[in-house]
Structure formats: structure tokens, C-alpha cells
Amino acid sequence: MSVLSEELREKIRAEFPNYPNKRAVTLPALHLVHDNLRAVSREAIVEIAELLELHPAEVHDTMTFYNFFKDEKNPLGRHRVWFCRSISCMLRGGEELLENVCHHYNVHPGETTADGRMTVEFAECLGACEGAPCILVDDVCHMNVNPSTASALIDKL
Amino acid sequence: MATVTINGKDVEIGSNERLNCIQAAAKVGVEIPAYCWHPALSVVASCRMCLVEVGDKKPDGTVAMQPKLVPGCQTPVKDGTVIIADSQKVKDARKATLEYLLLNHPLDCPTCDQAGECYLQDYSFNYGRGYSRLNEPKNIKPDKDYIGDQITLFTDRCIMCTRCVRFTREVSGSAELQVVSRGSHEEIDIFPGHPVNNPLAGNVVDLCPVGALCSKDFLYQQRVWWLKSTNSVCQGCSTGCSVTVDQNEDKVYRLKPRVNEMAQGHFMCDEGRFGWKYTHSEERLNVPKIVSNGHSTSQSWEDVLGSVRSSLQKAAAGKQKIAAVLSPWMTVEEAWLLATWIRSLSPQAVLAVGPVRVSGTDEHFPRDLRGNVIEPVKFTIRAEKCPNRAGVQAVAAHFMSDLMPFEELLRLASSGQFSAVYLTGGDPQGWISEMQAEALSDVETVIVQDFLPSPVLQHATHILPSGTFVEREGIVVNHRGLAQLIRRAVRGPDGSRPDSRILWELSGRKGLFQSESLRAEIAAAVPALAGLTHPDLKSTGVLLESAQQVTI
Amino acid sequence: MATFEPALFARINKPDSASLKTYQADGGYSRLKEFLSMAPGDVTNIVKDSGLRGRGGAGFPTGLKWTFLPKDYPGPIYLAVNADESEPGTFNNRYLMELDPHQLIEGIILACHAIRSQKAYLYLRYEYGTSYRVLDAAIRECRAAGILGTNILGTGVSCDIILHRGAGAYICGEETGLIESLEGKRAWPRIKPPFPAIEGLFRKPTIVNNVETLCCVTQILYRGTAWFKSMGVPADPNNPRDPGSYGPKLYCVSGHVNQPCCVELPLGVTARQLIEEHAGGVWKGRRAKAVVPGGISMGFLSASELDTPLDFAGPGKVGCLGLGTAAVVVVDDQTSMVDVLYNCCRFMSHESCGQCTPCREGTAWMTKILERIRTGQGRTEDLDLLMEVAGSMGIIPGTTICGLSDGAAWPVKNAISKFRSEFEDYIRSRKASVTSAQQLMAVH
């Protein structure tokens, strides 16, 4: 019983022509699986490795280098909200914003809320320093966020 | 020739040699410490232990030194290279690197296997600061005993040299080991469910400079400073890996590969590494016997040897022939002693070579996911499992133009051709089946020289308990004709004797077994074995060209 | 100061600035055919003559880097576009990609032509989702219009761009870390030699260029080298090794200012000018205590150093590492430098790839020492220890494989040497200032 659907496998295979070898498709494959399944499980790694003709350890070590990818023990919630903690955001209240949100939604950085709605993470510089403090909600960056605008955003997720 | 200067000393480098700074310095006895660099693995220059100052000596004699330190492992030397490995800058860099490595290193020396042969201990002693400036908590990482059936990992001892990971990627090709996470949280691990159980797994323990990766077989068994090391040769297959046998009080604790580019390179396989346990088996034959009508009538060596001599002399004088089986596990000297003696008793005596055990096909490494070999081959486990077929055949061929296979000898024995057969065993995995042994049931005199029981014992009239390879000295010749010396490391069980001693005494030679003069005798008599007196025999071994051409 | 006429930012305020239509209406791609008909070496010479230096942080002369490729290499040669922009305080590449992707694309095509590459991999940090969508759309527009693909505009030149998203690691901005990451491996920078121009992506000759650098290439080709050299800080005639600081630069200003912004100005503007004339001055009526000149890796300018010209040579003269990404971050006089330094060290230890000993252990140790200081358990000797640790790591002394270590060391060196009394007072006061927020983020 395969963890990766045929559709997902097709999407991964579609990347092959872009690179001279299959190994380079490791990150795109991890992203595709992670977005779709909210985690990259052990079985998924084995299947990705098979598709890419790699040993499972060669996929797994790349995956763990970026603390971006979750494994099956800590899957992502429906949404992922990153709070920048680097210098420009820290100087304008970014850390307090994170603390406020964690307190409000009763969750720690790296964890998912009990209702599965969102996973809260701290991030390093998100490159939106002109709008510090900023947060990244899934794939969209929001700037000049304060605790109330953050809650408003999150409640709409 | 190129001249390289290290710490003010000049050294000549051959035009064919491609050396880095570490290797060049070693030629003049200067140690440049290093962890991640290994001659059989790729260069990563990540441990930063080998940092030195490097420069160029111009033709006019002036020296231009590079402003920054460079890793010695990634810097090749050429004519005019100047290396400074003893300046304050270099010393400070080494102190700093060692301090960094010790920051999160647990104080495990009292219980760590590696103590006494640990590069972290040695380099800290020679180049380190001598005290810790850490006032912060250390990172703690969990131990992992699931790394392999033979391998356990003490994760927080790891200094991230990545030798083990590179070994599984570049030498075995099985890629079980990986580095997970990032930065100071990195750990060595396996992918769950894929432990390091490839045929070369044990090498990662040797490669680990510290006590992170440990052998479960050796764990907590013995402190290394009590071990005495003897150079020898693995007897697991015809690759003939150079090894050291580590023992204390006549108990072998482990085998480790010894670097020998003429033999196998740097590594050895697990079958050889762990395949010596039979030397301490409870089933070792340890009582010499004369057997008649199912009862043993004497158990003293004098009696047994005397009876062997007289039985064979009597058989040689009779109408039927006598025969001897030269096991491909015997050394060249032992084969020579037996062959010359048997032939001296009877010039028509038949000499056969014992069964040549072949298992599967040659296994080359590295191999990819599908099992295909990746060139260049870095290690081979040979299908032919005898350590000295070439050497024994060279001896046999000197006496018999047509070598007789073992099966043929058995056939002749069962058809009543022999009145006496002298059999030598030596294959720890068994060399004769019950059915094969039946062929000897009607032979009047059956002499068995072996160290483990086998089906042939029930037909034996004389049992001579012999020695395993760690108890004997002699020459073995590997698949490509390399003659190497196995050396006596331990005494066998009371009641057993090394084959060389048994055969020396049987053949009437006086005194103790003299290997050197015997080798000279053989070298003079057998052209194919002329190389046995070469001085290299005692170090890397000697290639005997013509020994390869002898086939059965 | 006379108002500067932006070139890189000429279109960003136009409606629909990212579309092909807007770019072409402004003259974009109008001379692409002409440039692609030039010999590749001629394009390289133009870029060399312009004095363009890489905008990604290292400031290496771009045209010169292109000449390091092996001559007559049968191919393939790759261009890797470094869009991993992760240096804290930096967001200028984001502006360029989100608001004027075609300027970048044209620069990529021109660079590929100069280096004889037919394939460019655009390594984009994952967090720039908008940039990804905009670039993806722009690339498709180009392909449809025959501006990307085979036989571009009938010139016989082929070029295509593959978008490759990262996964949140700062070290992927190091050129060989980027290459390793693109190849699907852990982003452990490679030892050099060999350099990427000889053996890079997929072991083929590769040039890695920053986004802003490539946008400059477009402007240099269209506006000419004389235009490019008319602004900036000329090379020091007494120093034959000084390549000068020519051309416009995008400066980011953030932190404790009233109007954080990204502004295009000739190289050599000072931090004071940026803060007062372009960012509305220090916020809340306060004064600047320290200013980061070019991303935190470069260290800090003290309040008395704000008139340092921010060109490639200026920050180095006052003890900073260099111009870096020209990302200016302002710290006001009510903020503790201990907190600021802690933030910088925490970032670096989190991002260290872990390959070499001094960086892996040293960055984490410096962070731990600062943590201890911030729990009120610091000692004055810790400051000397921090200086010693910082002094022993980096490619400058030769003890590490890449420059992340130097970037980790410099804030420590500058902060402690330029603000030593503040650190000593802090330690003496035995103050504890670990916020509950920071305790939440305890894993660094």
C-alpha cells in the first residue's frame, strides 16, 4: 500500500527533465510530499528514495538538515505560521509578538494547536524587515503585525 | 625528485608520489594531527585539526608563506613547498580545535573502549590546552545501540569527522550511515530499519578516531593497554587481509586490519574480523590419540607420534600406496614438511591438495543500490575461502606433476588403493562430509591432523590435535601470489600442538621448528617459491609471480 | 543631496510592474536580440569594464569571475542565481523579484550568454512565496513570447531558467552550499579549490551570481559602462588592488527608524544619510547607539562612525567585516547591545551547517556564554573569552571552510570592542534579561 499517490509520483517525475540527475529532485520531492501530506513519514522517505534511485539515508539526511520538514511524529497542522525572531523584528517587538500568540493559542513554537488549525514556528529573518515584525502564514508574508492583527489573521484561517 | 621542507627539514618526494602535507611530514617523522582525513576516503578537510602554514620556496631561496592557515590534508606538496607545523600560530589553532572538540565531549574515558588508542586523548595530551574553560551545560545526545548488529554508537562522544558516513558511501556503497540535523545538534544515525550490517560494517569502528562507534563484540571486554598485538594474516578467504591479532593471556580479543597496499588496502570484512571465535571453541581437539577398535589406547604425544611413524613406515613398505592430503589451510612450511617426509618414506606416495572451499562469487565493493559494482573496486571478499591454496599447490606441484584433487583421492581410497592416508584439516567450517569420510572406512591407517571434530574422526587410527592460525607461524600465499607471514600470537589449548611442530618432529628433524632455515631450504628447492627469503616477507609480504600460475 | 534617478528601481512603482507588458513598454527586452548577437566575450568585457562587483556580500568583481571559466569547455556550463537572501536585515532582492522580475530575467539571459550557459537555476529561498509566484508567471510569459527557450528571438541562443525552492537554511546562500543544496544534498559548503567556475553544479563549470548583481548587468548593457562608473566611489589611485565601488546600490534600512525602506542610491552613501534623509530618522526621538552596516555578519558601526561611506571599502576601515549586503539595521540608545549580540549569535549558531569544528562548536559556545551572561552569571573574563573564540574562527585566519564563521565572529568582535563598557556594566550589575519569549524559543 503506497503512501505516495500516483498523482504525487507524477508530479515528482515531472521534475526529472529539469536536472541532469534524479538526486537534485530531492528538495522538490520533499516539498511536494510535505505540502500534500503535512509530514514526510518514514514510508514516504523510502518511496521518494526509490523514485530518485537513492538510499533512504541519502534522502533522510537532506531532510533533517532543514528543520523545515516534519516527520510523522509531529505532522503539520492545517496551516503553518512562522514568526521571525531575527534582528530587525526583534528590535520592533517580534519576540513579544510570538510569546503573545503562543500564550493566546496555548501552543509552543514547533507545536500544533490542539484543534489542528495551525503549527507555530519561529523563523530566522524572513526578508520583510521594512515591515517588522512580520509573520509568514503558509506562503504569504504579513508585515507590521501586532498581537491583535495576528489574532485576526489566525482566526480567519 | 621534489624537495619539500617541513619544520626546517628537507625531504625528497618521488616524482610519482602524490602526497599531501600530512603524508609528506610523516616521511620525516613529523606528525600533523588529523581526524577526518583518511588515505582511503575522500578529503573533506572538516575537522580542521591538520591546519598548518604552507608556503613556496622560490628558486632564489626566498620563502613566500601564505597568510592564512590551510588544512594539510587538502594541500598537495610539490617541489619547493614549505610546511611549518610547529609555529605558535599552528599550535594555537590546534589548541583551539581540541578545545572545541572537547566542549561537548563527555568525560567517559574511565568507561570508554577507546581509551588507550584514542586520537582525542592522544592529541589533547600532545597539543591541547590541558584544562577546560567551559562554564555552560554540555549538549547531551542519546546512545544508539541499534546502529548495527555488531555496532553501537555513543553519540555524544562523536567529533563529527564523518569518516564512518563516508566509508558507507564510498567503500561499501551501502550508505546506511548519515548525519542528521544541523550545526552543533548534528548526530550520526541510520535510517530507521536500515542498520549497518553490510559485509564490511566493522571497519567503521576502526575508522572512528574516538569511542563513539564501538564493536559490540569487543565492548567492555578488555583494556587495550593489556593487549599484545601480533601481525598476521586473516584466514577467511584468499584475499589474505593483513591483520593484527590482539590478545591477552592467550585469549584473542579482536582482529583488526593492518594497512597493506600489497594485500588488501586498509580494511577487512566482518567474516574475517569476527570469524576467529573457533580458536577458543570448547570443541577444540586437545587430546592426541591412537585409536583401535573404537578405543583410544594411548594419549601421549610421544606414543602417538611414534605410532604414526611406525605405521606409515610399515605401510610404505607394503604393496599398497600411501597418501597425504595437503590442506590449503596449511602454511607453506607445513606442506613442505609433510610432503618431503611422506615422499622420503615412499617415493610413489600420492600427494593431494585438500578440498578448496568456494562459496558464492567474489564480492566486490562498493556496490550501488541494485548491487552492481561501482568502479574503482575498493575491496573484495573472495569466493575462494582457503588462505593458502596457491602456496600449498606450489609445494605439491614440486613433487607431483599432476596434482590430484581431493575427490579423486577419496575415490582411490574407497577402491582400496591406499593402506595409509595422512589427512590435514584446518578448515574451521568443515572440510569433509560423513559420506566422503566413508571412503576411508577400509583404509588401515588413517591419520588425522586437525583442530576441530569432523566426520572423519570416526575412521581415524591416529588423531593429532593441531593449531589454528593464531598459534602457528608460517607463510600463506593469497590469490595473487602475495606471500605473507602468519605469526604465533597465543598458545593453543593444552594437548594441542602447532602443525609445524608436529610435522617437524615426525619428520625426524632435531630441535625446535626453525622457520627461517626451513624457508631458505624451500626457496632453494622450489623455483616458484624463491621469494620466501626476501626481506619484505616480514613486512608487506612478497609477490611470488609464478605461484599464480599453478592451478589444479 | 540631489535626487537620484533610480535604474534598478525604475519600474517598481508602476502599476502591474511585474508584467512583461510593463517591462517592454519601458524598453525592456528591446535590445536583447542585439546583445545576444554579440560575442559572449564582448558581453563579459562590458561587465568587466563597468567595475561591477557582486552584490551578494563578497563584492568580487563580476566580470573577472566570469573569466575563470575554462576556455572552450564543451559544456554544459551553468548559471546559479543566488536568490537565497537570508542575511538578517536584507530584503532588496525580494523587492527586485516581486516587483520587477523581468529585469532579473533579462540579466540572467545576458549573463548566460556571456558565460556560454544554456541553463540557469534560480535558487529561491522558500519563504519568498510571492517572489516564487511572480517569477514563475514571468518565466512562463517569457517562454510564451520566445524570450526564454531555444533560439531566443531568432538569435540561435538558447537559455532557460529552472526555479528551485530552498527549505530555510542560511548556509544555502554560500555559493557552494547553494550548489550542494541544489544537488539534493545537505548544504555543506565545499572545500576550495576546486572553485565553482571549474567544478560547480553537478561537477560542471558554474557561475553563481546574486539577484541584484544580475539586475545590474541588465542596466549596464542598456545604459552603458560610462553611466555605471559615473556614480559610486572610484578606485583609490594609490592602491592598485582596489577595484573601486561603482554603480547604484539598493540599501535596506530597518530597525529603530521611522520609515524602514529599501532605497537605490549610488554606492558610498553614509549610514547617517540613509537614516536621516531616507528612513525618517531614528524612531521615538531617540538616537542611534549602533548601526549594522551590511547585514549582521558585518558587525556594528558605533554612533561616532555613522559618517562612514557605505561602499566596499568604507566599513572595513572602521573595523567592520565589509559592506556585505548593504542592509542597514539601526539600534537605538535604549536597547541593550547584550541583547542585540545575543540575537546575532543565536542566529549564527542556529544556521551553522556543522561541518567544521570551529564554527559548529564555536558559534554554539558563544551563544551559550551570552545566555549565561544574560542570566546574570557573567564574568568580565567572558568578554576576553568571547573575543578569543571569535578571533580563532573564519576563512580569514583559515580555520573554517566558509565565511559563515567570519560573519558569526564579527558582531562579537565589534560589539565587545566598541561597546565594552556597556557589556562590563551589564555583567557587574548581574542583571538577568532572558525574556519569557526567549525561554519559549530555548532550542537554538
Task: Please tell me the distance from the alpha carbon of residue C101 to that of residue C107, in angstroms, as a whole number.
Answer: 10
All residues of chain C having their beta carbon less than 8 Å from the beta carbon of residue A129 are 88-91, 252, 254-255, 260, 327, 329
Supply the DSSP string of C52-103, one letter for each residue. Answer: -B-SSSS--BHHHHHTTSPTT--S--EEEEEE---STT--HHHHHHHH-HHH
Every domain of chain C with CATH number 1.20.1440.230 lies at: 337-441
Q: Are B194 and A53 in contact (CB < 8 Å)?
A: no
Q: Are C89 and A87 in contact (CB < 8 Å)?
A: yes
Burial track C378-390 (b if 16+ CB lie within 10 A, e otherwise) = beeebbebbbebb
pLDDT digit string, tens, across residues B423-440:
999 999 999 999 999 999
Nearest C-alpha of chain A: how many angstroms from B266?
A: 25
Closest Cβ opposite residue B44 in set C191, C397, C400:
C191
Task: Please tell me the distance from the alpha carbon of residue B482 to that of residue B539, in angstroms, as a whole number.
Answer: 12
Q: What ipTM was estimated for this complex?
A: 0.97
Beta bridge partners of B450: B465
Which of A50, A60, A62 to probe by mutation at the B interface, max B CB count within 10 Å?
A60
Instruction: Name the band, by pLDDT with cuts 50, 70 and 90, for residue B92.
Output: very high
Q: What is the mean pLDDT of chain B?
A: 95
Every domain of chain C with CATH number 3.10.20.600 lies at: 245-332
Check CB contact of C180 with chain B, cutoff 8 Å.
no
pTM over 0.90: yes
Nearest C-alpha of chain B: how many angstroms from C234?
A: 28
Instruction: Name the neighbours of C, counting chains with at least 3 Cβ pairs within 8 A.
Output: A, B
Would you tell me which CATH number, out of the four given (3.10.20.600, 3.40.50.1370, 3.30.479.10, 3.40.50.970), belongs to the domain C245-332? 3.10.20.600
Q: C30: how many CB neighbours lie within 10 A of its CB?
A: 12
Inter-chain contacts counted by CB atoms under 8 A, chains A and B:
37
Q: Are A55 and B193 in contact (CB < 8 Å)?
A: no
Of all residues in chain C, the one with the smallest CA distance to A83 is C441
User: Which residues of chain A fall below pLDDT 50?
Assistant: none
Answer for the pair C105, C138: CB distance below 8 angstroms, yes or no. Answer: yes
CA B436 to chain centre: 32
Which cell numbers in the block locate residue B220?
567492555
Q: Are C399 and B69 in contact (CB < 8 Å)?
A: yes
Residues 6+ apart with CB under 8 A from B440: B410, B413, B414, B421, B423, B446, B456, B459
Of all residues in chain C, the one with the smallest CA distance to B51 is C399
> Looking at residue B550, what is its pLDDT?
42
Q: Which C residues 153-172 touch B at CB under 8 Å?
A: 169
Of all residues in chain C, the one with the smallest CA distance to B98 is C357
Same topology, domains A6-65 and A79-155? Answer is no
Q: Are A124 and C129 in contact (CB < 8 Å)?
A: no
Q: Are B71 and C354 in contact (CB < 8 Å)?
A: no
pLDDT digit string, tens, across residues B327-380:
999 999 999 999 999 999 999 999 999 999 999 999 999 999 999 999 999 999
All residues of chain C having their beta carbon less than 8 Å from the beta carbon of residue B45 are 191, 356, 401
Answer for the pair B423, B330: CB distance below 8 angstroms, yes or no. Answer: no
Q: Are B183 and C358 in contact (CB < 8 Å)?
A: no
Nearest C-alpha of chain B: how many angstroms from A40?
A: 13
All residues of chain A having their beta carbon less than 8 Å from the beta carbon of residue B191 are 42, 45, 55-57, 60
Burial class (CB within 10 angstroms; exposed 0-12, middle 13-18, buried 19+) of B3: middle
> Looking at residue C442, what is its pLDDT?
67
In A72-142, the DSSP E strands lie at 79-84, 118-123, 135-137, 140-142
Q: What is the dihedral sign for C-alpha B139, B140, B141, B145? A: positive
Chain B residues with CB within 8 Å of chain C CB: 43-49, 51, 66, 68-71, 74, 92-93, 96-97, 100-101, 103-104, 133-137, 139, 159-160, 179, 181-186
B74: left (phi over 0), alpha (psi -120 to 50) or beta: alpha
The more confident residue out of C236 and B145 is B145
Check CB contact of C362 with chain B, cutoff 8 Å.
yes
All residues of chain B having their beta carbon less than 8 Å from the beta carbon of residue C396 are 68
Write down the CATH number for the domain with range A6-65: 1.10.10
Q: Which C residues 292-331 touch A at CB under 8 Å?
A: 292, 296, 327, 329, 331
**Which is it for strands B445-450 and B418-424: parallel, antiparallel or unpaired?**
parallel
* B230: DSSP letter: E
| Annotation: CATH topology of A79-155 | Glutaredoxin (3.40.30)
Closest Cβ opposite residue C360 in set B51, B68, B184:
B184
CA C179 to chain centre: 17
pLDDT digit string, tens, across residues B170-187:
999 999 999 999 999 999
Q: Which A residues 65-124 touch C at CB under 8 Å?
A: 65-69, 82, 85-88, 90-92, 95-96, 98-99, 102, 108-110, 122-124
Closest CA to C329 of C363, C306, C304: C306
Which cell numbers in the block locate residue B517?
632455515
Task: Please tell me the distance from the alpha carbon of residue B446 to that of residue B308, in angstroms, as a whole number.
Answer: 9
Closest Cβ opposite residue B100 in set C350, C351, C357:
C357
Residues in chain A: 157
Supply the DSSP string of B84-117, one letter for each residue. Answer: E-SSHHHHHHHHHHHHHHHHT----GGG-TTTTS
* C200: DSSP letter: -
Can you tell me which residue has the cell 504579513?
A142
What sections of chain A are H helices per DSSP? Answer: 6-13, 26-37, 42-52, 56-65, 87-91, 94-105, 147-155
B193: left (phi over 0), alpha (psi -120 to 50) or beta: left
Q: Is the pLDDT of residue B546 over 70?
A: no
Q: Are C343 and A86 in contact (CB < 8 Å)?
A: yes
Instruction: State the distance between the two ends of chain C, measured CA to CA, in whole angstroms.
Output: 44
Does residue A133 have a cis peptide bond before it, meaning omega lies within 30 degrees of 0?
A: yes
Closest Cβ opposite residue B178 in set A57, A66, A67:
A57
All residues of chain B having their beta carbon less than 8 Å from the beta carbon of residue A60 are 178, 180, 191
Instruction: Name the neighbours of B, counting chains with at least 3 Cβ pairs within 8 A.
Output: A, C
Instruction: State the distance between the two ends of chain A, measured CA to CA, in whole angstroms.
Output: 33
B89: left (phi over 0), alpha (psi -120 to 50) or beta: alpha
Class of the C20-230 domain?
alpha beta
Check CB contact of C195 with chain B, cutoff 8 Å.
no
pLDDT digit string, tens, across residues A114-157:
999 999 999 999 999 999 999 999 999 999 999 999 999 999 98
Q: Is the pLDDT of residue B152 over 70?
A: yes
**Which is it for strands B9-13 and B51-57: parallel, antiparallel or unpaired?**
unpaired
Distances (CA, A) of C49 to B545, C4, C61, C79, C229: 65, 23, 10, 21, 9
pLDDT digit string, tens, across residues B435-492:
999 999 999 999 999 999 999 999 999 999 999 999 999 999 999 999 999 999 999 9
Inter-chain contacts counted by CB atoms under 8 A, chains B and C:
98
Amino acid at A81: V
SS3 of C302-362: EHHHCCCECCCCHHHHCCCCCCCCCEEEEEECCCCHHHHHHHHHHHHHHHCCCCCHHHHHH
> Looking at residue B129, what is its pLDDT?
92
Inter-chain contacts counted by CB atoms under 8 A, chains A and C:
163
All residues of chain A having their beta carbon less than 8 Å from the beta carbon of residue C251 are none
Q: Are B175 and A64 in contact (CB < 8 Å)?
A: no
Q: Which helix (H) or strand (E) holds B122?
A: helix B119-127
Does residue C205 have a cis peptide bond before it, meaning omega lies within 30 degrees of 0?
A: no
Check CB contact of C3 with chain A, cutoff 8 Å.
no
* C133: DSSP letter: H
> Looking at residue C444, what is its pLDDT?
47
B380: left (phi over 0), alpha (psi -120 to 50) or beta: beta
Can you tell me which residue has the cell 572451499?
B357
Q: Which C residues 69-98 touch A at CB under 8 Å?
A: 76, 85-91, 93-94
> Looking at residue C2, what is its pLDDT?
59
User: Which residues of chain C fall below pLDDT 50?
Assistant: 1, 444
Check CB contact of A148 with chain C, cutoff 8 Å.
no
Write down the CATH number for the domain with range C337-441: 1.20.1440.230
Which cell numbers in the block locate residue B122?
592522544
| Structural domain spans, chain A | 6-65, 79-155
Check CB contact of C360 with chain B, cutoff 8 Å.
yes
Closest Cβ opposite residue A58 in set B175, B180, B192:
B175
All residues of chain B having their beta carbon less than 8 Å from the beta carbon of residue A56 are 191, 194
Task: Please tell me the distance from the alpha carbon of residue B204 to that of residue B214, in angstroms, as a whole number.
Answer: 9
Q: Is the pLDDT of residue B264 over 50?
A: yes
